[in-house]
Amino acid sequence: MLGVVVEPLTLELARERFLAYLRIEVGCLPKTVEEYGRDVRYFVTDLRERGVATTESLTTRMLEEHLARLKTVRDLDARTVVRHLATLRVFSKWLFSVGLTIAYLGENLERPAAWKRLPEVVSPNQVKRLLEHGAPEPAEGWRGAPLYLRDKAILELLYASGLRNSECVTLKVEDADLTLGVVRVTGKGEKTRLVPFGEHAERAFERYLIECRPRLIRAGVNHQGRMFLSNTGRPLERTGLWHIVKRCAKRAGLEKIYPHLLRHSFATHLLGGGADLRAVQEMLGHASVETTQVYTHVDRTDLQRVIRTKHPRG
């Protein structure tokens, strides 16, 4: 009976029964079932990492937070998040229909276009701490490829140029011009743009290319000319870069740092320092200036905080 929760299931078992329902009772095509299964697996994994294991604990807020994390942490585009949203609505409706939740949790979920959440950023001092302490030089006598030089170059580039995770890992050696201090970036829609970087990133690049990258190249392994390689000689992947940034942040004593957060911080700090909005739009590769304007709202929010805390009549 609807409105009465039966014996709760683990989220993984609920996922399996949901897919069986789609396959057997609804008659969905195998590819459709596979797509639903992948999206729900993302959801189940995310909740498991946050300590939620059963259907009994589910709330609408958890669905909303998961969708937000897909965009801010996983760096998925709006169209992909919309698909996840549709999946969660179907999944949560099924959970309700079989009595695993007391309400239809997906009923009031909003589309990404309606989200008002501002991008998260870190302060310039926190970024400085990450860049100075996130990839320390190993102790004397250490042998092997100096991966800290690769990690340092990645951190410097992400903050100096505001690249997306995917843009950073697909960057090729030939795309970087150290003389001019620019990188040629291939962004969404296969559009290319030139993005400048400063002296700190230039020095980090130079050391990486001379002292580290040649030692990562392996005979018989196709590195595709990519700038950043793993310790196996293969091109670094998005998940690998994400883990590198998280590991460096942990070394620096910082939490909740991820590649896209450095992109947000890059834009916010530039605009806060007086940079032209159109110039920042160009560097970020945004098709519309309205997308870039969100960073002016972030900076304005910070100004409001300053007034409240510092002004005698705040």
- Residue 141 binned pLDDT confidence (cut-offs 50, 70, 90): low
Q: Side-chain half-sphere of 225: how many Cα atoms within 13 Å? A: 6
Q: Which residue type occupies 156?
A: E
The three-class DSSP label of residue 4 is: coil
Respond yes or no: is residue 89 known to be catalytic. Answer: no
Pairwise pLDDT comparison (257 vs 314), residue with the higher score: 257
Domain ranges of the chain: 11-114, 124-310
- Residue 307 binned pLDDT confidence (cut-offs 50, 70, 90): very low
CATH number for the domain running over 124-310 = 1.10.443.10
CATH number for the domain running over 11-114 = 1.10.150.130
Q: Is the pTM of this model over 0.75?
A: no
pLDDT at 71 over 80: no
pLDDT at 98 over 50: yes
Respond yes or no: is residue 188 known to be catalytic. Answer: yes
Catalytic residue among 66, 74, 84, 263: 263
Catalytic residue among 38, 48, 50, 188: 188
**Residue 233: predicted pLDDT:** 95
Catalytic residue among 23, 172, 184, 286: 286
Distance CA 141, CA 103 (A): 61
The one-character DSSP state at 24 is I
Average pLDDT value for residue range 295-309: 59
Respond yes or no: is residue 164 known to be catalytic. Answer: yes
Question: Per-residue pLDDT tens for 247-280?
Answer: 999 999 998 899 999 999 999 999 888 899 999 9
- Residue 188 binned pLDDT confidence (cut-offs 50, 70, 90): confident
Q: Which residue type occupies 121?
A: V
Average pLDDT value for residue range 186-213: 93
**Residue 199: predicted pLDDT:** 94
Spatial neighbors of 196 by CB under 8 A, at least 6 apart, are 161, 181, 182, 283
Q: For residue 284, what are the CA distances in angstroms to 188, 235, 265?
A: 11, 23, 12
pLDDT at 314 over 50: no
Pairwise pLDDT comparison (108 vs 178), residue with the higher score: 178
Respond yes or no: is residue 297 known to be catalytic. Answer: no
Respond yes or no: is residue 42 known to be catalytic. Answer: no
Residues in the chain: 314
**Residue 6: predicted pLDDT:** 60
Catalytic residue among 15, 260, 264, 269: 260
